Amino acid sequence: MTSYDFDFDGQHLQARPSGALFWPERHWLIVADLHLGKSERMARRGGALLPPYETLATLDRLRSEIDATDPATVISLGDGFDDDAAGRALPDDVCRALQAMAQGRRWIWVSGNHDPGHIPARLPGETLPELHEDLLLRHEAGQGPDISGHYHPCVRLAGQRLRCFLLGADHLILPAFGAYTGGLSVDDPALRALVPTGMAIACGHRAMPVPVSAHSKRKRA
């Protein structure tokens, strides 16, 4: 697991192959779009009964990131829950697992469009609309420079579609960390508008930087 180191908005940061962002100076671990409880929400709405393991899978991955980086602060950058009701409906063992992970650290849930409300009391941490401590962290990109999630960026590399960080002059957009999350190509106009030129950092067995530019069409293998 090799991270990719870069500077953004005057800070030194690490893009981890898992899709998590690490800020070594402050020991912050930032993950976006966990979408915990997604399968529960779909079932509640009368849709398909998806394998109800995505929360477990997401937490397993988050736990290994916490074990690897031992962060002082963990930040969920919005859409931590697939909706507010999904947050309330999390099973007890999941809540206990989150409590255990949060033990001895600061834990922040930034609100997203899926989870605008406050987190239930049985979960650790506090809810904030956004966070501005040297870096501006929020769910959806606004007036930059800021760090955000929301778009689930993806990039195609050697025939594979990989989740990626999208790094531009004004915005750093994180990939979705949750297990059942789709993705939006970095070539999509919505993302092109935010990051006309810059770099996609693909999440493979290591973090792989690839240039993104509005004018030169990237080769696809």
Partner 1 sequence: MTLPPRFQDWFTRQGWQPHPHQIDLMQAKGDTLLIAPTGGGKTLAGFLPTLVDLAEPHQGMHTLYVSPLKALTADIARNLSRPVADLGLDIRIEDRTGDTRASQRARQKIDPPDVLLTTPESLALMLSYEQAPRIFRGLRRVVLDELHALAESKRGDQLMLCLARLKALAPEVTVTGLSATVEDPQRLAGFMGGAQVINADPGPDPDIAMLATTQPAPWAGGGGHYAVRDVLAQVAQATTTIIFINTRAQAELFFQAIWAANDDNLPIGLHHGSLSREARQRVEAAMAAGELRAVVATGSLDLGIDWGAVDLVIQVGAPKNVKRLVQRIGRANHRYNAPSRARIVPANRFEVIECTAALQAVRERDLDGDPRGPGPLDVLCQHILLTACAGPFDPDDLFREVRESGPYRHLTQEDFDACLDFAATGGYALRAYDRWQRLMLRDGLWRLRDPRATRDLRMNIGTIVEAEMLKVRFRGRGGAPLGEVEESFAATLETGDTFLIGGQTVRYDGLRDMVVEVTKQPTREPKIAMFSGMKMATSTQLSHRVQALIGDPSHHDTLPADTAEWLALQADVSTLPRAGVLVSESYPHQGRWHLAVYGFAGRNALQTLGLLMTRVMEEAGLAPLGFLATDYALLIWSLDPVTDPAPLLDRDALREGLGDWLGRNAVMKRSFRNVATIAGLIQRNLPGQRKSGRQATFSSDILYDTLRRYDPDHLMLRITADEARRGLVDFDRIEEMLERSNSLDHRMLDRVSPLAAPLMLEKGRVPIAGKGRERLAEQEAAALMAEAGLT
Binding site residues, partner 1, CB under 8 A = 39-40, 43-44, 46-54, 56-57, 91, 151-152, 156-162, 179-184, 188, 190, 199, 202, 204-206, 208-211, 213, 216-221
Closest CA to 62 of 26, 16, 25: 16
Tell me the β-bridge partners of 163: 154
Nearer to partner 1, 13 or 162 (CB): 162
d(CA 174, CA 150): 8
Distance in Å, CB of 221 to partner 1, minimum: 6
β-bridge mates for residue 5, sequence order: 14
* Identity at 132, one-letter amino acid code: H
Looking at the Cβ atoms of 55 and 76, the one nearer to partner 1 is 55
Residue 166 contacts residue 172 (beta carbons within 8 Å): yes
103 or 216: whose CB is closer to partner 1? 216
Q: Which is nearer to partner 1, 137 or 162 (CB)?
A: 162
Within 8 A by CB and 6+ apart from 89, the residues are: 37, 40, 44
Helix (H, G, I), strand (E, B) or coil at 196: coil
The least CB distance from residue 61 to partner 1, in Å, is 12
Give me the phi and psi of 49, to 5 degrees please.
Answer: -95, 90
Q: How far is the CB of 14 from partner 1 (least distance, A)?
A: 17
Q: Using the minimum distance from each CB to partner 1, give the nearer residue, 40 or 83.
A: 40
Q: Cis (ω within 30 of 0) for the bond into 211? A: no
Question: Residue 216 and residue 221: Cα distance in Å, rounded?
Answer: 16
Smallest gap from Cβ 170 to partner 1, in A, equals 19
For residue 41, the minimal CB distance to partner 1 (Å) is: 9
In terms of CB distance, is 42 or 102 closer to partner 1? Answer: 42
Distance, CA of 167 to CA of 195 (rounded, Å): 7
For the CB of residue 107, give the shortest distance to partner 1 in the complex, in Å. 25
**Residue whose pair of structure tokens reads 């931590």 in the numeric block:** 80
